[in-house]
Structure 1
Amino acid sequence: LLLHLMVELLLYLLVDLMLYLLVDLLLHLLVELLLHLLLLYLLVDLPLYLSVDLLLHLSVDLLLHLLVE
């Protein structure tokens, strides 16, 4: 009986550990993915947004300059 309980406990712990590791791995992968997406956003969307913003700013500046002249 004792041996049986020990085997059950070991199996339970093994399954528990495997689940824990799996969840850990999944979380790790999710974090990696989110970081990559954030990096992509920063490398692509942000410069695009900033350049459009800058262009608008410059064109407004130019228009004002022309109006003043």
Structure 2
Amino acid sequence: MSEQTTWNVGGMTCGHCELSVREEIGEIPGVTAVEASHETGRVVVTSNGSLDPAAVAAAVEEAGYRLV
């Protein structure tokens, strides 16, 4: 069963930022879709079950941003 989780991400200012965050989170096992918006500062992640918040935080940090 798929789950959808919304995360607040600080520091995104443009479409390139959104792409970087989507790519990094998309590499987490079980993630099936990622939508990011620099305008709202939110990322919506669809996955095949619960995600480890630490894994999401690490992916966001790898992209150069932070969970808030």
Q: TM-score range by the shorter chain?
A: under 0.3
TM-score for the superposition, normalised by structure 2: 0.23
Greater relative contact order (Cα < 8 A, sep 6+): 2
Which protein has the bigger strand share?
A: 2
TM-score for the superposition, normalised by structure 1: 0.23
* The structure with more radius of gyration: 1
